[in-house]
Amino acid sequence: MIFSLNIWFPYLFLSYQRFKRWSKPATLSLICGVGSDLVRSRSDLVIENAILRQQLIILNRQVRRPHLTIHDRIRLVFLSRFTRF
C-alpha cells in the first residue's frame, strides 16, 4: 500500500472545512448572548467570570484529565449559588 498525500489531500481538506464550520459560533447565538449580558447586573457578570476563571485554572493543570479537589468543588458551588444561569 502506498499512502500518497495526493490521494488523501481532498479528504483532509474536506474534514478541515467541516471542522471549521462546526467550531464557528452561530451569529444569532452570539447576538443573543451579548444582548442578555447587557441586561444582567455587574455582580452577575463578575461572579460568572470568577466561575469561568476557576474552570480554566482546573483545566490548565499539567495532567491529562484534571480532577476536582474538594476545594475546587467548594469554590464552584459557592460561586454558582450567587448567579442566575
Domains of the chain: total: 1
Residue showing cell 476557576: 54
Could you tell me how many residues make up the chain? 85
SS3 per-residue string spanning the chain: CCCCHHHHHHHHHHHHHHHHHHHCCCHHHHHHHHHHHHHCCHHHHHHHHHHHHHHHHHHCCCCCCCCCCHHHHHHHHHHHCCCCC
CB 75 within 8 A of CB 54: yes
Indicate whether 83 belongs to any domain.
yes
Q: pLDDT, tens digit, for every residue of 26-77?
A: 677 778 877 877 888 888 888 888 888 988 888 887 777 777 888 888 888 8
Indicate whether 41 belongs to any domain.
yes
Indicate whether 3 belongs to any domain.
no
Indicate whether 21 belongs to any domain.
no
| Residue range(s) defining the domain that contains residue 59 | 28-85
Indicate whether 60 belongs to any domain.
yes
pTM given for the model: 0.46
